[in-house]
A and B are shown apart, each in its own frame.
Chain A
Amino acid sequence: MRVQVRGFSLWNAPEWVWRLLLSLLALFMAFALGGILLISIDVNPREAYSYLLLGNFGSVYSFTEILVKATPLMMTGLAFAFAYRTGLFNIGAEGQMYMGAIGAALVSLKLTGLPGWVLIPLALLTAMLFGGIWGGMTGFLKVKFGANEIITTIMLNYIALYFLNYLITDPLREASGGYVQSDTIAEQSFLPVLIPDTRLHIGFLIALAFIVIFYLILWKTPLGFQLRAVGFNRHAAEYAGVNVSRNLVTAMAISGAFAGVAGFTEVNGLLHRLIDNFGVGLGFDGIAVALLGNANPFGIVVSSLLFGLLRVGANAMQRGVGVPANVVYIIQGLTVLFLLAVNVLMPRIMRLVEQKRTQRPTTGERRLSA
């Protein structure tokens, strides 16, 4: 048989191109529905969206703010995606992030005698350790007692939040006793700023490095192979001799460590102290980031940048046309919902594509896909 199609044809595009197109469709539908809502309150959606999407490309500072916001989202997105690849739901990135922040802050507050090049990596490692323990605990409770990880992670979010609150109300309270927050961390533990007069710190590059680490662990190590096997089919993996229990705990620990890094970048890069409730919503936003990015490292980079853009753009929009910044949550929530719906359609669409590709649809298949 002769190959019919010459040159580029959409029908020959691999599956990931279709996924990408459908993700864009989901985004478009979310924006469209958001636009209808804006019209309903007499706001011109074109004007509002130009503030939302383009409002932050005016100056270097406002552009770097996008990257600043994207940094923790990338890490909490990675955290969710890593567990997700192993077939687990880590809803606890927020708590793991708080534990990471506590770890990073403890090191950066107490070991003031150390030079920055020791202190910063140490803070990072401690944050990963704290977040990893918090995540690993969920894995342990799951394999040992069968405790559903979704609920345990949510519960552990609150426990971490109250623990953080306790630390800064009492043992780590700033020396002056003024606000409920810790002292400023040692100056040499501040993450260096990448561009002068902006808040963009090397935490952004660290997060990008973890994107690569995420990819390497999952696709280039035997451990990653096992983890993905467990995620693909837990029972089959067990049958093939994989220690599923150990892998589940490991996956949750690594996932928690990723989230812990978000705590580190926020404390050492941005806040320079422990503050109550500093990352509210970052955990859940990370889930949206991971889902939009299809739990794929490159996808997570793109979607975290997009959500970072929406987050800062929302403030520009609020200033510009008086629409509350929280509107981006509508777009974010709708995007995920449409994405889920589109994913349901995905197998059907791929079947249709397959038919077009072979150019010889049998009547039976055609009826199925109709």
Chain B
Amino acid sequence: MSDGFLIALMAAAVRMAMPILYAALGGLFSERSGVVNIGLEGMMLVGALGGVIGSYLSGSAWVGLLVAMLAGGLLALIHAYFSITLKVDQVVTAIALNILAIGLSSFLFRGMFGITTIPVTVDGFSNYPVPVLSELPGIGQILFNQNILVYLGLLLVPVSWFVLYRTSLGLAIRSVGENPKAADTLGVNVVLIRYGCVIFSGMMAGLGGSFLSLGQFNMFVDNMVAGRGYIAVAAVIFGKYRPGGILVAALLFGVADALQVRLQAMGADIPYQFLLMLPYVVTILALTGLVGRNSAPAASGKAYARE
């Protein structure tokens, strides 16, 4: 393999990791506050559509981004209401939302643009090479000749870490996820924190979805998220519920994805499907604790009721 191939591969891997990274960082906050969010898939999907609609109507991809966050956040609000207020099972709620999102996104898309065979393309985010840094050999192409959403995503990793581990808000979030009763006793508003985290996770998933529609394809296609939301859920677990770990997990999925695209294109006689399976296998191994300790928040998935 030549250097050029490797650099192009890694640059593509970083790009492909981004939708997963965004959604997984959002999912991290939701999980850390004790709410399982399998609904990331649906929230990404409405985000992907929201991005296209916003960009189409305003002509600005930035407005698209805002609409995407709003759409993801709204779906997350429903998830929060059902799982926190009504205390309904979080998994079942999320699955219903994912089914709803498939229908809703397709419906709204057709409602706006009619049934058309010509894809509606919109303004997206094009590459913005960082001055000086993008000139660096190798790494410059991989990390610094990307679109602005890539930089933002990478930046959010340390920011998430800082918020979770160095602020009182982060402490409150983590305590609510580990022991809501104790947190409540200490005056932390469990319901408010959980609502906030779930809605934030939806906004981030919406961003991740709009990365697909505005940062990669510049259009919306039915069900275009295609399981990336579930991968994001896996990335949170595989990343051991830490921002840095999640980045590594998202990149692993990105590399596997980018590599298989290239292997297929080259017609290489390698069963690339096993490569695609790898991240899922590793996630299962992470779950079993065979690769390090299982580190899920103690109150994950449990609704909180004051006695």
**Chain A interface (Cβ < 8 Å from any Cβ of B):** 37, 40-41, 89, 91, 141, 144-148, 150-152, 154-156, 158-159, 162-163, 165-166, 169-170, 281, 284-285, 287-288, 291, 322-324, 326-334, 336-337, 340-341, 343-344
Contacts and interface: CB of A to CB of B under 8 A. Distances in A.
Interface string B70-84: 000000001000100
A170 B115 contact: no
A148 B89 CA distance: 15
Nearest to A322: B115
A169 B273 contact: yes
A125 B104 CA distance: 39
Contacts of B221: none
Interface of B: 36, 38, 78, 82, 86-89, 91-93, 95-104, 106-107, 110-111, 115, 222, 227, 230, 233-234, 237, 271, 273-274, 276-277, 280-281, 283-284, 287-290, 294, 296
B107 A324 contact: yes
A39 to B, nearest CB: 11
A335 B175 CA distance: 35
A327 B92 CA distance: 20
A330 B100 contact: yes
Contacts of B96: 288, 333-334, 336-337, 340
Contacts of A341: 82, 86, 88
A333 B100 contact: yes
Given A333-B104, A334-B96, 12 more contacts: A147-B287, A151-B237, A154-B234, A158-B227, A162-B276, A169-B273, A334-B100, A337-B100, A340-B96, A341-B86, A344-B86, A344-B87
Question: Binding site of B, secondary structure by majority: helix, strand, loop or mixed?
Answer: helix
B102 A329 contact: yes
User: Is chain A's binding surface mostly helix, strand, loop or mixed?
Assistant: helix
Contact of A326 (B82, B222, B280, B284): B222
Contacts of A343: 88
Nearest to A37: B107
B286 to A, nearest CB: 9
A58 to B, nearest CB: 23
A145 B286 CA distance: 10
Contacts of A158: 227, 230, 276-277, 280
B296 to A, nearest CB: 7
Nearest to B289: A145
A112 B277 CA distance: 31
Contacts of B115: 322, 324
Contact of A148 (B95, B100, B111, B287): B287
Nearest to A171: B271
Contacts of A329: 99-100, 102-104, 106
Contacts of A91: 38, 91, 95
Contacts, number: 146
Contacts of B88: 340-341, 343-344
A324 to B, nearest CB: 5
Contact of A162 (B36, B273, B287): B273
Contact of A331 (B82, B103, B233): B103
Contacts of A331: 103
B103 A326 contact: yes
A151 B27 CA distance: 14
Pairs of residues from A and B, 8 with the lowest C-beta to C-beta distance, nearest first = A333-B100, A329-B103, A330-B103, A145-B288, A326-B106, A336-B96, A166-B273, A333-B99
Nearest to A333: B100
A284 B98 contact: yes
B273 A165 contact: yes
26 contacts: A41-B110, A91-B91, A147-B288, A147-B289, A147-B294, A151-B234, A151-B284, A154-B230, A158-B227, A158-B280, A162-B277, A284-B99, A288-B96, A288-B99, A322-B115, A323-B110, A326-B106, A328-B103, A329-B99, A329-B104, A330-B103, A333-B96, A334-B96, A337-B82, A340-B89, A344-B88
A169 B107 CA distance: 34
A323 B106 CA distance: 10
Contacts of B281: 155, 159
A152 B283 CA distance: 8
Nearest to B100: A333
A291 B89 CA distance: 12
Contacts of B100: 329-330, 332-334, 337
Contact of A145 (B82, B99, B290): B290
Contacts of B89: 340
Contacts of A332: 99-100, 103
Contacts of A170: 271
B233 A154 contact: yes
B170 to A, nearest CB: 24
Contact of B97 (A155, A169, A333): A333
A287 B289 contact: no
Contacts of B102: 281, 326, 329, 333
Contacts of A145: 287-290
A324 B273 CA distance: 32
Contact of B287 (A89, A141, A163): A141
| Most chain B CB within a 10 A radius of its CB, from A89, A146, A159 | A159
Contacts of B91: 89, 91, 150
A152 B99 contact: no
A89 B230 CA distance: 16
A195 B115 CA distance: 35
A300 B223 CA distance: 27
Contacts of B38: 91, 150, 154
A233 to B, nearest CB: 16
B107 A327 contact: yes
A169 B267 CA distance: 12
Nearest to B83: A340
Nearest to A283: B95
B228 to A, nearest CB: 11
A216 to B, nearest CB: 26
Nearest to B222: A326
Contacts of A169: 271, 273
B107 A326 contact: yes
